[in-house]
Structure 1
Amino acid sequence: MLFRAATADPADLDRVAAHPADGRVPALTAERIREELAGNRIRPEWIWLAEDGEGRILARALWWGRADSERPVALDCLQVREGVADPAGVAAGLLEAGHTAFGKRPGYHISLPRGWRDDPALAAAVAWRREAAAAAGLTREIERLRYEWTPQAGTAAPTGRLVFREGTDEEMLDAFVRLSHDSLDVTTQHELELMDAEQLAREDFDFYLDCPGERSWWRLAHLPDGRLAGLAVPSATPYHRNVGYLGVVPEQRGQGLIDEILGEITRFHAAAGAERVTATTDTVNLPMAAAFDRAGYEVTEIRLVLEAPSR
């Protein structure tokens, strides 16, 4: 079996796009692949194929990144042709080949419907993907809820409980540090095992600074007496507006202030004419999920994230 990138032959991209987008786990369609290639978010060197001795495609893996990314950010699509005897083994070999070429192990994001474990065929399709990902070093799993707001849900009026203002970079970094303490976000917890809160704050700051949203959108949230309550970072993806980052400092948690901060972000995007605002939170972060529910955000999918446990 041959594992290779789709860079050797111009016809490879047509073959990749023509590969059936079937199976229980949603796959990228030919139209979507061509759109992402045109936007430089999927590239030939980020598309890897497993071929048999006769050159037939047995599996395909497509990694995604931003238009200006040097290396891929995440695995977006992994398929093995129906009838292959060992789909997990073939997929694991394909992922290892890609990881070696990239010099990193990007996470694998699988989009699933709610209740996917109750569908035996879908659960089985996820199982071999998890097995392959684990064999390729993606052994840590996080399950997240993907939310979506549309104008039909409306926006909550400001209550005056918080005052929002722009902040300096130093003030924003301090807020990122304070919000990370005792966070229920699984990724934040894992990152704090590898670095201190100041380093993580800088990484989070740089990440959102690099997103399509504007730095001028960010706001500090204060109580009327001037004490810091939290942080609101409206952001965007290459496709739509999103919630980005938000939170309440530890000493002010438990008072419902997260609703005020989420409301500010939602109003900001709505005022800009956003027709859709997306957001994600871990399934174990029950307070954040409840806040999205109260604000009229609807769960559109479950996102299973498989990633390497350390860098």
Structure 2
Amino acid sequence: MTFRPLAGAAELDLFRRLPYLLDDELADDLAQGHRRPEWMWVALDGERLLARAAWWGRLGAGVPSHLDILDVDDALPPDVRVDVGADLLRTAMAATLTPGTALPEYGRYVPPGWREEPAVRAGVEVRMAVAERTGAQFFVERLRMEWRPGTPIPAPAGAPAARLAFRPPRDEAEIVALMTDALTGTLDAHSRADLTRMPPEAVARTHFEDELARYTSPRAWWRVAVLPATGEPVGFVLPAHNGYNPIIAYLAVLPAHRGRGRIDEILAEGTRVLAAADAPRIRAATDLGNTPMAAAFHRAGYANFGREIVMTWP
């Protein structure tokens, strides 16, 4: 058995012998620099592809940020699948990742009802077992949401005087300050984990700089929700384009204004902004355990089209 990285983009057909929904993006990702052949590994028995693993990275970062492809040949016996996958992943991690640094998390997209389909569930659990064999642990399951054109955007409820007004953020500092405030009582698993290591302002600034500031879509899309009478901020929504899809990149109601249904108006405004920009679809995600946010997306006409299993290494 041979474990090795791809020799180049010419080996994409070999890599794609094991199917996954990200396969159609691989060629563009390689061309743009989100992937590199040395981040894409295969386990071969002669010409047969037994397993594969690949990382994705931010443009210009020079290091991968997510393990998002991890597959084994489902025709192999279950125990052999886990052994081969784990051996490949250990070898690839040792050659690809920098010793002593935090390991990129692993994310696997799965169907909404993956637990109810025996074959699908078995495949997901084998891949989770491969990651676990190398020391990874389950972190969170996330709902993947989608809004499509033609879906009605809910109108603001209540009397006009009680509705929110929206304006662009004044500057980056205001967004970071609002994000910091919104972290109080957050139900987001990543934010909660970050808060065990950093103060709220550092968590907000890191997320802004590592994620939000990198989007090249117009910041004119961003909205701060305020009370019309006083101008006091109530929450905010950051519509964006992540290079693959229009998205609701961040959505929050500030702690002092929660529990009053404000999230519906704020999400509707973010949806309206992207719909006005002729978005062919709008994607969003929230943790399975964040039931208030999930309910808001459902009320706004977003459908749950998939889930993501996220695993991390200590």
Scaled by the length of structure 1, what TM-score is found?
Answer: 0.89
Go from structure 1 to structure 2 and tell me whether the alpha carbon gap of 1:215 and 1:98 turns closer, same or farther (over 3 Å shift).
farther
1:201 is aligned to 2:204: yes
Match runs of 1:26-41 below 5 Å: 26-29=20-23, 31-41=24-34
Q: Which residue of 1 aligns with 2:148?
A: 150
Q: Which residue of 2 aligns with 1:13?
A: 12
Q: Which consecutive residues of structure 2, in runs of 5 or more, have no partner in the other structure?
A: none
Match runs of 1:177-192 below 5 Å: 177-192=180-195
**1:1-49 deviation digits (Å, cap 9, x = unpaired):** 4322113x675434223x242xxxx4544x5433332333332111011
**1:173-231 deviation digits (Å, cap 9, x = unpaired):** 11010001110111111111111101101012112011233333322221122222112
Q: Which residue of 2 aligns with 1:102?
A: 97
Please, what is the CA RMSD of the aligned residues?
Answer: 2.1
Identity rate of aligned residues, in percent? Answer: 39
2:296 pairs, out of 291, 300, 308, with 291
The ranges of structure 1 where at least 4 consecutive aligned residues each deviate by more than 6 angstroms after the TM superposition are: none
2:224 pairs, out of 220, 223, 238, with 220
The aligned length equals 301
Give secondary structure in 2 for the equivalent of 1:151. Answer: coil
Higher mean Cα deviation, 267-276 or 63-72? Answer: 63-72
2:165 pairs, out of 154, 157, 163, with 163
1:65 is aligned to 2:68: no
1:89 is aligned to 2:83: yes
Give secondary structure in 1 for the equivalent of 2:274. Answer: helix
Confirm or deny: 8 A CA contact 1:167 1:219 kept in the other structure.
no
How far 1:306 sits from its partner (Å)?
1.5
Partners of 2:48 and 2:114 in 1: CA distance: 31
2:135 pairs, out of 121, 134, 137, with 137
Give secondary structure in 2 for the equivalent of 1:154. Answer: coil
Go from structure 1 to structure 2 and tell me whether the alpha carbon gap of 1:79 and 1:152 turns closer, same or farther (over 3 Å shift).
same
Confirm or deny: 8 A CA contact 2:18 2:49 kept in the other structure.
no
